[in-house]
A and B are shown apart, each in its own frame.
Chain A
Amino acid sequence: MDVSILLFYGLATIIVFFALAVVISDNPIYSALYLAITMVTLAFVYFLLKAFFIAGVQLIVYAGAVMVLFVMVMMMFDLKKEKNSFSKGKFANFIKVGSAGWLCGLIFASIMLSKGMLPLANTNTPQAVADTSTKELAILLYTDYIFAFELLGLLLLLIAVGAVAVSRIKGGTHE
């Protein structure tokens, strides 16, 4: 067996395990840390697929900045009230079980329905994307997908403006 296949199954197991732990853990800070581990492992899966630039960006943006912010903000708040309201009570439990069942059903149904629709791929990993992939990615991004790219920029601007607007509202759970 190829080493990369072995590595993939190892990494995939880690991802699934910690992704589950994110949902199951009742401490939000642990959840966020598990999510960080999931992100880092996902970056290494990208490395395995030879998508080096995406892997690096995943490390910098998600694991290095976004999740650090999440963890930091959670540590700043006293989350006892939220913890109780999310992890106790019949309604919350019903929602949890219901959404988990729904997701399982969706996955099962999609596997069942899509079986036989697509032929299995012959190649293992896309070998063409080597060192030049960053440049090709950039060229594609700024020519063919420029409209979507600009729209995403606009979305980020909206989020920034929205965050400032929300932060000026008084009240809420943390007054």
Chain B
Amino acid sequence: MGADLFEVSVNLVKMIIIFVMMVQLVPLLVWVERRGSAFIQNRLGPNRVGPLGLTQLLADAVKFIFKEEFVPEKTKRFLFYAAPVVSLVPAAIAFGAIPLSLPINIEQFEMFGSTFGPYRFAFQSFEVGIGIVFVLGISSLGAYSMLMAGWSSNNKYSLLGALRSCAQMISYELALGLSIVGILLLYGTFDFATMIDAQQGPLTFMLLGKEVSVPFLPNWGIFYQPLGAILFFTAVFAETNRTPFDLPEAEAELVAGYHTEYSGLKMNMFYIGEYGHMMAASALMAVFYFGGYDIPFLSPDSVRETFLGWGLSANKAAIATAFLFHVSMFAKILFFLWVFIWVRWTIPRFRYDQLMDLGWKTMLPWALANTIITAIVIYIMRTNWS
């Protein structure tokens, strides 16, 4: 947590801010989803409450809080109440482990008559050395929330939705895990920060033992692993239960799937869990394939120099740089979140057998092939043949 009181308190505040950021993004995303779907379907969407319908969010929140808390009879009480929490917690933990910007290096400074520092604050809730494995492991726990909700509701639609969602999540977890092996081989690390560092600068790679550089392209993972990126993004859609993989909720068949019996704030927590998973997935997509917080053709050191040149102190320059790069990361996350919404309102739902076929017979073999070919190509390219 930290060596002294200042570091510990900053780390705690940071954790809370990142969690609140995640939760507060949800109403905005709901608004974007409703307005965006209206835009895609040539409708107007909610535009009556406030400017552009923005205060609709507030009205929704108030509605969620003050709605009657209805629990049907013969539910398994404890599991029924626990399921929304189990849905929210893994998403929050997974999002907290992803770096959202450069670490901030604070030099020694004086405050309240005593000296503090130097410190290094990572721009994330907490750092885990095995980043990817941790995030995948934690977010795979989200399946329990659906199972618990579906089974404890004592409702056939809920149970069917939960079972379907679970089968889907387990099937696509394999493709998800295999699709990022290529990127792991490429960067040789599980750590997000090291991975993002490796993606700075112009596109540079080894061609048969010689270093080749393409100055007009950024050094992003997408140029090495285009197939991996597509497989990863598709699998992530299935993991977050978004259309075209929204079988657990399929309104036409299952009422609302595993959360049929939920209302009010408990329902809202499922929403936060789902959008939290989407945010974590978008952040992972940015980190693996789009350089994380990297801004093309702009290195963190040169930005810091510029800020120092404007007369900022070293600490303020470090903070300003981190926030500038955070804006870049956040823009990428928002872009992928928009893609999530865009796809949802463009592509219809798969049938269950089509979904399983896609997962097991298409994506898994392609991911395996991608892994093997990447390994062979990396070996050939990095060997010095001359």
Contact = CB atoms under 8 A, between A and B. Distances in A.
Interface of A: 29, 33, 36, 40, 43, 52-53, 55-60, 63-65, 68-69, 71-72, 75-76, 130-131, 134
Given A59-B137, A60-B136, 8 more contacts: A60-B177, A68-B140, A68-B147, A71-B166, A72-B167, A75-B163, A130-B129, A131-B191
Interface in B144-185: 144, 147-148, 150-151, 159, 162-163, 166-167, 169-170, 173, 177
Contacts of B177: 60
B133 A53 contact: yes
A36 B144 contact: yes
26 contacts: A33-B148, A36-B144, A52-B128, A52-B130, A52-B134, A56-B130, A56-B133, A56-B137, A60-B136, A60-B177, A63-B137, A64-B143, A68-B140, A68-B143, A71-B166, A72-B163, A72-B166, A72-B167, A72-B170, A75-B151, A75-B159, A75-B163, A130-B129, A131-B191, A134-B130, A134-B190
B255 interface: no
A29 B151 CA distance: 9
B140 A65 contact: yes
Q: A-B pairs with the 3 shortest C-beta distances?
A: A59-B137, A64-B140, A56-B133
B130 A71 contact: no
Nearest to A64: B140
A64 B137 contact: yes
B325 to A, nearest CB: 23
Nearest to B139: A64
Contacts of A36: 144
Contacts, number: 78
Interface of B: 79, 128-130, 133-134, 136-138, 140-141, 143-144, 147-148, 150-151, 159, 162-163, 166-167, 169-170, 173, 177, 190-191
Contact of A63 (B141, B150, B167, B190): B141
Contacts of A76: 163
B4 to A, nearest CB: 15
B147 A72 contact: yes
Contacts of B138: 59
Given A53-B130, A75-B159, A134-B130, A40 B151 contact: no
Contacts of A68: 140, 143-144, 147, 166, 169-170
A175 to B, nearest CB: 20
A60 B151 contact: no
B142 to A, nearest CB: 9
A60 B134 CA distance: 8
B160 to A, nearest CB: 10
A60 B90 CA distance: 13
A89 B166 CA distance: 35
B186 to A, nearest CB: 15
Contacts of B143: 64, 68
A108 to B, nearest CB: 34
A108 B215 CA distance: 69
Contact of A60 (B137, B162, B190): B137
Nearest to A60: B137
A33 B144 contact: yes
Contact of A59 (B129, B141, B148, B191): B141
A13 B144 CA distance: 22
B137 A43 contact: yes
B47 to A, nearest CB: 42
A75 B143 CA distance: 14
A76 B136 CA distance: 26
A65 B147 CA distance: 13
B140 A69 contact: no
B147 A71 contact: yes
Contact of B141 (A53, A56, A64, A131): A64
B151 A131 contact: no
Nearest to B162: A75
A126 B143 CA distance: 34
Contacts of B170: 65, 68-69, 72
